[in-house]
């Protein structure tokens, strides 16, 4: 892929790097300086990508490729990601500000995702179903054809692998529309896939604005299925279009996850889990444990430990040695976070830590914000109910299990939850009652590509990861043989 500073990075359509009359700029949130201009897709490019994807997916070279051959191709893509790990990590770091160690870990995780689905691809099988007469019946699983994958800016490497790998393993062609904030990792993935031998048109990469390229892609009659990770409002808009098209969608949306500390918890371990659960990635995670529920009997002691650890977090340039938290991914998003913290204070909240930009002059040009803890809010406060998607933790108290479950479930969201307790019977009781797609007990953010992931309520539809993450991109067909 051409990579010059004088002309916009082109998009990938049908194995060819294509320019456009429109472009978008990416900004390094750590410095405020421009990174790249990237070609932005419009109606013509969306049409061309869909046409090329259908042409490619119908070619015998892809349609009739045996499972072990497709698996080998996915492994070669993973090898390419390993080979270019430094570049992939750096592209993510300079576009969304994640610290270097996290970016490197996410490259490794993305490559592992391709290898996992290579294994699923060549081992998952069709099913012979119990006959109810003199016939042989079976269930066959087939691709939708052309799938659109729309990914967010907070963890582009992770999300792109999590969608592209299973969709390819399932036999589809994929049109990948990355966030306009972080388009470069997706373009690099497209280059690596071509080098690995993926047929042209099987993976097209279309950067562009969500309201333009994304909207056109979702509405396109040639797109048979959409997988989207992002905000709940955008997810609803996609679902409305999908309803009109009678098109299946996978929606991984927002969260306001409860993180629970019981009176008998290992407090030091719980503090570390809470800190990682909300401040890793500057809180820009759908599963961030942003609502902290602490048993009233230990709240004062726990808060002392938590605040000391919060104030000690090193906020720095993402590639600085020892940096624990980088900038917010964009200046506009930092403005939103600051506005919500001000609103929390106006509703009676007290900033116990952070609540402002860092004083360090080296960070003044970046979109930095200190890890923030807010107390004193009631259950109806906006900061308690709305997703902030930043390094902001609200602290609440609970009296007993019934009170805890009622408060934790009093949310439009249901993506994740965490429980810290020495009593596994209590953990089991509470975990079963929480309305959340993932529940962690004495840990947090423990994720596995082999375990299905998704949300309850307004946190989404469908389940990614695991074997079901492959089936998500397939439709079943019953076949009968008369005997």
Whole-angstrom Cα distance, residue 429 to residue 431? 6
Identify the helix (H) or strand (E) that includes residue 467.
helix 466-471
With a CB cutoff of 8 Å and minimum separation 6, the contacts of 115 are 74, 75, 78
Residues paired with residue 395 on neighbouring β-strands, in sequence order: 292
**Looking at residue 106, what DSSP letter applies?**
H
Whole-angstrom Cα distance, residue 397 to residue 251? 32
Cβ(478)–Cβ(141) under 8 Å? no
Catalytic residue among 252, 280, 435, 464: 252
Which CA distances in Å does 332 have to 288, 336, 367? Answer: 20, 6, 9
- Bridge-based pairing of strands 146-150 and 173-177 is parallel
User: Is 252 an active-site residue?
Assistant: yes
With a CB cutoff of 8 Å and minimum separation 6, the contacts of 251 are 228, 229, 235, 238, 239, 460, 461, 462
Tokens of 426: 């209590």
**Dihedral angle over CA of 425, 428, 434, 438, nearest 10:** 150
Q: Tell me how far the alpha carbon of residue 257 is from its chain's centroid.
A: 15
**Looking at residue 300, what DSSP letter applies?**
H
Nearest to 437 by CA among 419, 456, 418: 456
Tokens of 97: 């500000």
Which CA distances in Å does 73 have to 114, 193, 206, 444, 470? Answer: 9, 9, 22, 34, 16
Strand, coil or helix: what is 192?
helix
Q: Tell me how far the alpha carbon of residue 412 is from its chain's centroid.
A: 19
Cβ(178)–Cβ(204) under 8 Å? no
Q: Which residues are catalytic?
A: 252
């Amino acid at each position: 892929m051409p990579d010059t500073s004088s002309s916009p990075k082109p998009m990938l359509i049908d194995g060819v790097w294509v320019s456009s009359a429109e472009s978008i700029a990416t900004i390094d949130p750590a410095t405020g300086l421009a990174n790249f201009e990237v070609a932005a897709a419009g109606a013509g490019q969306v049409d061309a990508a869909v046409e090329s994807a259908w042409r490619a997916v119908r070619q015998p070279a892809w349609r009739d490729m045996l499972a072990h051959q497709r698996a080998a191709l996915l492994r070669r893509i993973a090898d390419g990601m390993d080979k270019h790990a430094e570049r992939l990590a750096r592209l993510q770091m300079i576009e969304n500000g994640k610290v270097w160690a996290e970016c490197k870990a996410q490259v490794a995780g993305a490559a592992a995702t391709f290898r996992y689905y290579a294994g699923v691809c060549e081992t998952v099988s069709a099913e012979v179903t119990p006959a109810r007469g003199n016939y042989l019946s079976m269930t066959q699983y087939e691709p939708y054809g052309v799938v659109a994958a729309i990914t967010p800016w907070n963890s582009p490497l992770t999300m792109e692998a999590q969608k592209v790998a299973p969709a390819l393993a399932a036999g589809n062609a994929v049109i990948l529309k990355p966030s306009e904030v972080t388009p470069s990792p997706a373009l690099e993935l497209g280059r690596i896939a071509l080098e690995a031998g993926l047929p042209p048109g099987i993976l097209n990469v279309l950067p562009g604005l969500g309201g333009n390229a994304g909207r056109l892609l979702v509405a396109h009659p040639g797109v048979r299925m959409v997988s989207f990770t992002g905000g709940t409002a955008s997810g609803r808009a996609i679902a409305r279009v999908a309803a009109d098209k009678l098109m299946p969608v996978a929606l991984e949306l927002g969260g306001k996850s409860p993180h629970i500390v019981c009176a008998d918890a290992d407090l030091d371990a719980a503090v570390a889990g809470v800190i990682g659960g909300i401040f890793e990635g500057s809180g820009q995670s759908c599963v961030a444990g942003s609502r902290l529920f602490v048993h009233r009997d230990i709240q004062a002691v726990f808060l002392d430990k938590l605040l000391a650890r919060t104030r000690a977090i090193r906020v720095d340039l993402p590639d600085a040695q020892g940096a624990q938290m980088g900038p917010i991914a964009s200046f506009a998003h930092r403005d939103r976070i600051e506005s919500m913290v001000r609103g929390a204070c106006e509703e009676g909240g007290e900033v116990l830590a952070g609540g402002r930009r860092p004083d360090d002059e080296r960070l003044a040009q970046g979109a930095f914000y200190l890890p923030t803890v807010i107390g004193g809010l009631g259950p109806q406060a906006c900061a308690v109910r709305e997703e902030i998607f930043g390094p902001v933790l609200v602290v609440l108290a609970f009296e007993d299990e019934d009170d805890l479950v009622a408060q934790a479930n009093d949310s439009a969201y249901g993506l994740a939850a965490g429980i810290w307790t020495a009593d596994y019977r209590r953990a089991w009781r509470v975990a079963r009652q929480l309305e959340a797609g993932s529940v962690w007990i004495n840990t947090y953010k423990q994720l596995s590509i082999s375990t299905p992931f998704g949300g309850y309520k307004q946190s989404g539809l469908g389940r990614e990861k695991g074997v079901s993450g492959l089936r998500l991109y397939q439709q079943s067909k019953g076949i009968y043989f008369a005997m």
